[in-house]
Amino acid sequence: MSSHVGRWLGRALSLLLPLCAFLIGIRGMGLAFKLLGRDALEFFFHVSENPFVGLLIGILSTSIVQSSSVTTSMVVGMVAAPEAALPIASAIPMVMGANIGTTVTNTIVSMGHVARPEEFRRALAAGTCDDFFNLLVVALLLPLERATGMLEWLSGQIVGAIPRSSGRMDNPMATAADFVLDPLRDLSFALWPTAGGGALLFLLLSVATVFSALYVLVGRLRLLAKGRLESSVSAALDASPLVGLIAGALLTALVQSSSLTLSLLVPLAGTGIMTLEQIFPLVLGANFGTTLTAFMASTAVPLQTLHQAVQISLVHMLFNLVGVLLIYPLPKLRALPLSMARAIADIAVRSKLRAALYVVGLFYGLPLLGLVLFRLL
């Protein structure tokens, strides 16, 4: 009995420690942005006022770190930073870009089937259907958001139900995190004594903490949920699309990584175990499930900026939810991402170079080119 209890305690600690580190890192990012000050962040905020540039920043940063959770958590930190908060309207395109950028992992996984043309065709179609779905949703929602502010307004209405703090009250979780962050901040300024240098080093250490904590947390959850994950996917194969959507969301919320869920689905499609139509609802559910990370990140900010942090995490959820509601119920619109995925897979089978150019161009080349052009113009 004692060994059984010890095992469960060990598992709980293996999840609790990286989760605490993740929340500490989020709090650290908020403090670091405050230390950098409004002047240091003025250029970045000015650039992000252009929605296209904000979208490109989200795509590029997520493509580099291969995790939308890291990008959206950083956006939460910027939005919640006292005295230097990133406006919600400027943060929304970044969140949309993160949804596109995270799909690079699925596409790279599909390259593992490149030696077998038919497997590669099926795997790449499965790996890119999420690309085209997110591109389609962004093409619909980004202009709509700029014209009406729909996501900002709706998330604001939801978060408005949360009682606002007054006075000097603070979030107990954020206060606890400061016990760890105060020595780290002092170390940063000791290593880089200038104000800007110390703040920048503190920011980099906080980002590294978030990234490392998520990496460890996802790895632990993957080990604990591996059998459950595979059996749940199998159970959803022949179920209704709604079951697939729910299964994809729950599985991704469980393992805290849409890339992990989708990377499991791509080989199943490649080997012919699942069809593209069966995978698609699971993919859409996974997009929604990964939004839980940003919501968790929003709980580690001061109470004075809690509403802004929760609001941008809700925008991430609403973006995926509204995207599904707009596209999936309409057969012709629903078929469009699948047709585009099959088309790019057919092209890639004929030329592997084109497949590589697609990945490099969409996730790295286009965002970099856009940012360079914006800077020059």
pLDDT, tens digit, 9 for 90 and up, residues 130-178: 889 998 999 899 999 989 999 999 998 888 776 655 444 455 666 677 7
Summarised one tens digit per residue, pLDDT across range 272-310 is: 878 888 889 888 888 888 888 778 777 766 666 777 888
Number of domains the chain contains: 1
Residue 229's domain comprises 2-376
Write out the two tokens for 50. Answer: 């252009």
pLDDT (0 to 100) of residue 306: 74
* Dist. CA 31–CA 83, nearest whole Å: 10
Nearest to 262 by CA among 126, 158, 134, 163: 126
Summarised one tens digit per residue, pLDDT across range 308-353 is: 888 888 999 999 999 999 898 888 899 999 999 999 888 888 877 7
Q: Quick one: what percent of the chain has pLDDT higher than 90?
A: 9
Q: HEC profile for the chain?
A: CHHHHHHHHHHHHHHHHHHHHHHHHHHHHHHHHHHHHHHHHHHHHHHHCCHHHHHHHHHHHHHHHCCHHHHHHHHHHHHHCCCCCCCHHHHHHHHHHHHHHCCHHHHHHHHHHCCCHHHHHHHHHHHHHHHHHHHHHHHHHHHHHHHHCHHHHHHHHHHCCCCCCCCCCCCHHHHHHHHHHHHHHHHHHHHCCCHHHHHHHHHHHHHHHHHHHHHHHHHHHHHHHHHHHHHHHHHHCCCCHHHHHHHHHHHHHHHCCHHHHHHHHHHHHHCCCCCHHHHHHHHHHHHHHCCHHHHHHHHHCCHHHHHHHHHHHHHHHHHHHHHHHHHCCCHHHHHHHHHHHHHHHHHHHHCHHHHHHHHHHHHHHHHHHHHHHHHHC
In sequence order, what are the residues at sequence separation of 6 or more whose Cβ sits closer than 8 angstroms to the Cβ of residue 273?
237
Q: Quick one: what percent of the chain has pLDDT higher than 70?
A: 75
How distant is the alpha carbon of residue 237 from its chain centre?
Answer: 25
* Dist. CA 207–CA 201, nearest whole Å: 10
What average pLDDT score do residues 254-260 get? 69
